[in-house]
């Protein structure tokens, strides 16, 4: 996989979130409540019913404090006690990364829990969404989220894999389960899906409602590099090799999986959608379902795809693809910026042209962000292993 477009993608990502930016919010609705992802006991940041984010921090000697969210920096105002407070324009529903800027220093807001995204551990905020019930912590049986540490011979490094096992896994000792391999996006890591992605809660709820079958979900880190010899040799991205030769065999030996194509799915978001599509197409004997959330392997191009040359002709025979991948799922948020609508659109056109069947889900009112991907997982998981 070509990793050059990653920096371009990040720029796009940040720029994409400006949608509602206003420099002078006119009338601000005073119904702010602490964000649901604040640290215990912290009153700020807060969110109001318009989706504005208000934060507050003591910085008596500062000259300028800003709330930096969705690609826009909002000036906070200092009171007589040296406490700076202010709010953003309304944000899209769902989860957003953000930070504070204190006299030019970009730092996490000390009020929130921290999440890995945008290449750093930093602050997150949750804007209530009308469908938040799908990822709510409810009175249903809950699965486990476990950290598996393993040494990768290919990359010569210790790696960490997050594994969701559904409720009942520990006590139903004779039951074996299908597995979904689920990947994060660029500048994120293996923690994203079970933390800000709420993959475990989405599955707990779907399984309790009998909308999805109990399954194991494996979330690993898409940045897997093989050290190269010689002075100017750049490390080689070898995630596919690590997935096929190390992660899957390890999961199949350590967990009670059903270790066959029919019971193995793979999906990812953005960069992860790109990576996992390539892995699925290169290893059709291993996977029977693919999910690409907000990303495709032709990224960032919106040009027409030639199925004879694209991915070494893997899509040249539409009928074969339909047989090999009976579940083929794509998704996009309605507010996603370029190049996503263009490149996903070109990919869909190619699928249509080849007669390849796929499901397409559009997340209403969301951009290239986690609310799109939570909803995508909610839809995709219902199609699996049935």
Footprint on this chain of its own copies (rule: CB under 8 A) = 39-41, 57-65, 82, 100, 102-108, 110, 113-114, 119-122, 137, 139, 142, 144-151, 158, 163, 170-171, 173, 189, 253-256
Task: Please state at what angle helix 370-381 crosses helix 199-208, rounded to 10 degrees.
Answer: 30
Q: How many other CB atoms are found less than 10 A from the CB of residue 234?
A: 10
For the CB of residue 57, give the shortest distance to its own copies in the complex, in Å: 5
Q: How far apart are CA 217 and CA 220, in angstroms?
A: 10
For the CB of residue 255, give the shortest distance to its own copies in the complex, in Å: 6
Q: Which is nearer to its own copies, 103 or 304 (CB)?
A: 103
- Residue 138 is given by DSSP the state -
Q: Which is nearer to its own copies, 28 or 238 (CB)?
A: 238
Q: Which is nearer to its own copies, 27 or 173 (CB)?
A: 173
For the CB of residue 135, give the shortest distance to its own copies in the complex, in Å: 13
Neighbouring-strand partners of residue 87: 54
What DSSP letter does each residue of 259-273 carry, written as one string? -SGGGEEEEEETHHH
For the CB of residue 198, give the shortest distance to its own copies in the complex, in Å: 12
For the CB of residue 145, give the shortest distance to its own copies in the complex, in Å: 5
Q: How far apart are CA 100 and CA 107, in angstroms?
A: 5
Q: Which is nearer to its own copies, 131 or 252 (CB)?
A: 252
For the CB of residue 108, give the shortest distance to its own copies in the complex, in Å: 5
Query: Measuring CA to CA, how many Å separate 109 from each of 54, 87, 100, 112?
Result: 11, 13, 6, 6
Q: How far apart are CA 66 and CA 55, in angstroms?
A: 9
- Of 313, 317, 261, nearest to 284 by C-alpha is 261
Q: Which is nearer to its own copies, 80 or 285 (CB)?
A: 80
- Of 340, 323, 322, 339, nearest to 331 by C-alpha is 340
- Exposure string for 136-147, b = 16+ CB within 10 A, e = fewer: eeeeeebbebee
Q: Are 152 and 173 in contact (CB under 8 A)?
A: no
For the range 206-209, what are the long-range contacts, defined as Cβ-Cβ under 8 Å and sequence gap of 24 or more?
206/134, 206/378, 206/381, 206/382, 207/140, 207/141, 207/143, 207/166, 207/167, 208/138, 208/140, 208/141, 208/167
Q: Which is nearer to its own copies, 20 or 150 (CB)?
A: 150
Q: Which is nearer to its own copies, 152 or 288 (CB)?
A: 152
Residue 344: how many CA atoms within 13 Å on its side-chain side?
27
For the CB of residue 82, give the shortest distance to its own copies in the complex, in Å: 6
- Residue 304 is given by DSSP the state P
Q: Which is nearer to its own copies, 122 or 291 (CB)?
A: 122
Q: Which is nearer to its own copies, 16 or 165 (CB)?
A: 165
For the CB of residue 91, give the shortest distance to its own copies in the complex, in Å: 22
Q: Using CB atoms within 10 Å of the CB of residue 156, give its burial: 0 to 12 exposed, 13 to 18 middle, 19+ buried.
A: exposed
SS (H, E, C) 15-49: HHHHCCCCCCCCCCCCCCEECCCECCCCCCCEECC
For the CB of residue 76, give the shortest distance to its own copies in the complex, in Å: 11
For the CB of residue 116, give the shortest distance to its own copies in the complex, in Å: 8
Q: How far apart are CA 173 and CA 167, in angstroms?
A: 12
Q: Which is nearer to its own copies, 41 or 130 (CB)?
A: 41
């Amino acid at each position: 996989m070509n990793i050059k477009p990653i920096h371009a993608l990040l720029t796009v990502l940040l720029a994409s979130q400006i949608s509602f930016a206003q420099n002078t919010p006119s009338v601000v609705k005073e119904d702010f409540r602490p964000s649901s992802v604040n640290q215990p006991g912290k009153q700020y940041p807060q969110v109001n019913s318009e989706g504005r984010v208000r934060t507050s921090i003591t910085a008596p000697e500062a000259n300028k404090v800003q709330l930096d969210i969705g690609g826009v920096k909002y000036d906070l105002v200092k009171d007589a006690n040296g406490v700076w407070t202010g709010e953003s324009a309304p944000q899209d529903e769902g989860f957003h990364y953000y930070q504070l800027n204190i006299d030019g220093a970009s730092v996490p807001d000390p009020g929130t829990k921290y999440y890995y995204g945008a290449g750093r551990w930093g602050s997150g905020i949750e804007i209530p969404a009308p469908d938040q019930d799908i990822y709510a912590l409810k009175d249903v049986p809950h699965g486990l989220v476990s950290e598996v540490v393993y040494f990768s011979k290919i990359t010569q490094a210790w790696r960490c894999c997050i594994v969701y096992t559904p409720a009942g896994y520990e006590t139903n000792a004779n039951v074996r389960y299908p597995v979904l391999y689920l990947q994060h996006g660029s500048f994120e890591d293996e923690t994203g899906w079970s933390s800000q992605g709420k993959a475990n809660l989405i599955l707990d709820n779907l399984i309790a409602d009998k909308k999805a079958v109990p399954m194991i979900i494996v979330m690993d880190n898409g940045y897997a590099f093989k050290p190269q010899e010689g002075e100017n040799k750049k490390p080689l991205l070898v995630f596919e090799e690590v997935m096929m030769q190390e992660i899957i065999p390890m999961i199949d030996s350590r967990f009670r999986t059903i270790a066959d194509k029919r019971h193995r799915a793979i999906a990812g978001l953005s960069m992860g959608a790109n990576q996992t599509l390539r892995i699925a197409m290169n290893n059709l004997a291993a996977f029977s379902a693919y999910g690409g959330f907000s990303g495709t392997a032709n990224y960032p191009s919106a040009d027409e795809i030639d199925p004879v040359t694209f991915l070494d002709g893997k899509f040249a025979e539409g009928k074969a693809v339909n047989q090999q991948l009976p579940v083929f799922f794509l998704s996009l948020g309605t507010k996603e910026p370029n190049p996503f609508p263009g490149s996903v659109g070109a990919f869909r056109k190619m699928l249509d042209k080849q007669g390849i069947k796929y499901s397409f889900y559009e997340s209403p009112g969301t951009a290239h962000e986690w609310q799109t991907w939570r909803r995508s997982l909610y839809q995709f998981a219902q199609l699996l292993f049935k």
